[in-house]
Amino acid sequence: MRKKTESALPVVVIGAGMAGARLAARVPGATVVGEERHAPYNRVLLADVLAGRYAPDVIALPATEVRRGVRAVRIDRADRLVHCDDGSVLHYGRLVLATGSNPVLPPLRGLGDTLPDGVHPFRTLDDALALRAAVRPGVRAVVIGGGLLGVSAARALAECGAQVVLAQQGEHLMERQLDPEAAALLRVHLEALGVEVHTECRVRGLRCTTATTTESVRAVELADGYELAADLTVLACGVRPRTGLALAAGLDVRKGIVVDDELRTSDPYIHALGDCAEHRSTLYGLASPALEQADVLAEVLAGRPARYEGTRALTRLTLRSPDPLHALDLAAFGEARPLPGDDVVRLADATRGAYRTVVVREGRLAGGVLLGDLGAVSGLARTWQDDEPLPPAMSLLHLLIDDGGH
């Protein structure tokens, strides 16, 4: 039998998350290896699964053939082989690392390699389903981390009837995306739903009890000695790119796996995309850049000219509720914190819980935050993403009240 030529060898994708699934749907014959037992799914909707609004099959992505429950353990770059934990070996002509990221487990007293009962990360569908099975009305839940994921988890747990405390180390919620005024409105929204919010709150450890050989969480200890009673503790302290395979294979890794504008790593036959990829010194950690990278890479692998030049990503969060009055829409983009010399326009309606602000820097839209009514978000996002100078006749107020053509 003749040895396969390089062109006959398949594309192998390690990782069946949103980026890997998107790429595989656009590359005929790609082999996808995924550690999770589930079909690829929309990770953005995990809080909706936790809240019970969606069943797992509802958030599944369009069908993609995936070798589920299989973990790639080693890359042999010399022979272009991927070794998997089930003993299988895959040949590749091009290899794509879409390994994603892992939740950050904070260095807390009482938190070892094995999580105590009642302590849950919140990153995967299994995490969401485990929390859904554990939560019940009246259960005491502490969410550690007040970023996008922590806020979503706290809101979903409150919907399930839990008594929720949200502990955020920073000065306000969602510090990466929101300015203090928008964060204050978000806090009011959460507190109206019964979530107790603590900011500038450093967690020191977990207090657990032991029954036979099993540890169970009972409280979260704060740095000032105060304890928050907890039957459930959710760790939402950020994510870290999964780069272990790339490091072991000798690829260039900094914070993430370094890639060029064709999403190529330091090995010309290996690409990376999504949460694990570092492009022009930037890690995105969001769905929209990962999907855009997958689309570009599909073109590159097909031999067509394409380049990824970065994503001006908009963060959007919808906190749904059975009661429309308790729903909340939020969008943030660019740099919402003004620098000296920037122009800022802010509109706030405390009665309706609506807030809009934009920052203009050197004649261009630098960023903004919208909370409540998002009628203007499409027009603002287009203006920001185009990164063109604002027309002289365009007032800052017009930017905030324009409905984007709706």
* Tens of pLDDT, residues 270-293: 999 999 999 999 999 889 999 999
pLDDT above 60: residue 2? no
Is residue 323 very low, low, confident or very high in pLDDT (cuts 50, 70, 90)? Answer: low
Mean pLDDT of 157-175: 95
pLDDT at 308: 97
pLDDT at 3: 40
Check: CB of residue 165 under 8 Å from CB of residue 190: no
∠ Cα 346 351 353 (to 5°)? 60
pTM over the 0.85 mark: yes
pLDDT at 402: 55
Is residue 397 very low, low, confident or very high in pLDDT (cuts 50, 70, 90)? Answer: low
* Cβ neighbour number for residue 128 with a 10 Å cutoff: 26
- Look at residue 298 and give its three-state secondary structure: helix
Cβ neighbours of residue 9 closer than 8 Å, sequence gap 6 or more: 80, 91, 92, 93
Query: What is the chain's Cα-based Rg?
Result: 23
Rounded CA gap, 328 and 307, in Å? 36
Q: Judging by DSSP bridges, how do beta strands 232-235 and 140-144 pair with one another? A: parallel
Q: Of residues 177 and 353, which shows the higher confidence score? A: 177
223 DSSP 8-state letter:
T
Q: What is the pLDDT of residues 14-34, one digit of tens each?
A: 999 999 999 999 999 999 999
pLDDT at 393: 58
152 DSSP 8-state letter:
H
Nearest partner of 373 among 358, 356, 398, 395, judged by Cα: 356
Rounded CA gap, 74 and 244, in Å? 10
